[in-house]
Amino acid sequence: MTKDGNLLSLVEKNDEKYSHSTKLHSYINKVIGESKISIKELSAIAVSKGPGSYTGLRIGIAAAKGLCYSLEIPLISISTLLILAKQIKGIDKGLIIPVMDARRDEVYSAVYNSSYNKVREVFPEIINEESYSELVLNNKLYFIGDGQEKFERLIKKNSCVGGGGGGGG
């Protein structure tokens, strides 16, 4: 939960048991309690619009829509890949490529410039030695996300692979 751009409370759980559907509302209550803000003080709710787990997105968006409807506040959707891209800060040149593992040799990815403007739309792709070959010739590339390990072994020339949690270098 944020207020005036400041983080007030956060619950993160990365669990392979995928139990978010049973715990989501308790997480929401925990965030509201820790923030010391009444639920009636919310002015909007933001959700990830994907890409991501279809079931997870569906559950999260349904919960957010229910809250927004009952509180009569706007629902804001944000790209998961844009959220990842914005973790890389302080570059003035180059391209940011957030990548999410979509299983097998496939990833969801997009390409953003250093101002976070989308250079290439989001789409799933099977990666190979030619992936991003046209971009690596003239740009420094910053990869971020859980799909970057797939690229690390394929793309070495003139690229910089960003860390999973915070940025490239």
Q: pLDDT tens digit string along 70-100? A: 999 999 999 999 999 999 998 888 999 999 9
> Is 114 buried (19+), middle (13-18) or exposed (0-12) by CB count in 10 A?
middle
* Residue of 134, 121, 127, 123 whose CA lies nearest to 149: 127
Strands 75-78 and 45-48 turn out to be parallel
- Tell me the pTM: 0.76
What is the C-alpha separation between 77 and 56, in angstroms, rounded? 14
- Measured N-to-C along each axis, helices 54-71 and 20-35 cross at an angle, to the nearest 10 degrees, of 40
With the C-alpha atoms ordered 168, 57, 132, 105, is the resulting torsion angle positive or negative? positive
Express each pLDDT in 55-67 by its tens digit. 888 999 999 999 9
Q: What is the pLDDT along the chain (169 residues), one digit of tens a residue?
A: 888 888 888 887 776 666 767 888 999 999 999 999 999 999 999 999 988 888 888 999 999 999 999 999 999 999 999 999 999 998 888 999 999 988 777 889 999 999 999 999 888 888 877 787 788 888 898 989 988 777 666 655 434 444 444 444 4
Give the whole-angstrom CA distance, residue 151 versus residue 143. Answer: 8
Locate tokens 């990830």: which residue? Answer: 48
